[in-house]
Amino acid sequence: MKIINVDQGSPEWMSYRAGLPTASKFSEIVTTKGEPSKSRTKYLYQLAGEKITGSKEESYQSAAMSRGIEMEAEARLLFCMLHDAEVQEVGLCIEDDGRWGCSPDGLIGDNGGIEIKCPQLATHVDYLLTGKIPSTYYQQVQGSMFVTGRDYWWFVSYYPGMKPLMIKAEPDTKFHAALQAELVRFSEELETIVKKLQEVS
The 10s digit of each residue's pLDDT in 91-117 is 999 999 999 999 999 999 999 999 999
Ranges 47-51, 70-74, 173-177, 179-183: which has the least confidence? 70-74
Cα maximum dimension of the chain: 56
Residue 60 scores a pLDDT above 60: no
Residue 68 scores a pLDDT above 80: no
Q: What is the pLDDT of residue 55?
A: 86
Domain boundaries, the chain: 2-200
User: Across residues 49-74, what is the average pLDDT?
Assistant: 78
Q: Which residues of 44-64 are buried (b: 16+ CB within 10 A; e: fewer)?
A: beebbbbbeeeebeeeeeeee
Q: What is the pLDDT of residue 57?
A: 72
3-state DSSP assignment of residue 174: helix
The 10s digit of each residue's pLDDT in 145-167 is 999 999 999 999 999 999 999 99
Percent of the chain with pLDDT over 70: 94
Q: What is the pLDDT of residue 24?
A: 96
* 2-200 CATH fold: Lambda Exonuclease; Chain A (3.90.320)
Q: What is the pLDDT of residue 70?
A: 79
The 10s digit of each residue's pLDDT in 17-55 is 999 999 999 999 999 999 999 999 999 999 999 999 988
Taking the CA atoms of 144, 181, 94 and 17 in sequence, report the sign of the dihedral they define: negative
Measured distance CA(16)–CA(14) in Å, rounded: 6
Contacts of 153 (CB under 8 A, 6+ apart): 112, 113, 114, 115, 141, 142, 144, 145, 168, 169
User: Across residues 132-149, what is the average pLDDT?
Assistant: 97
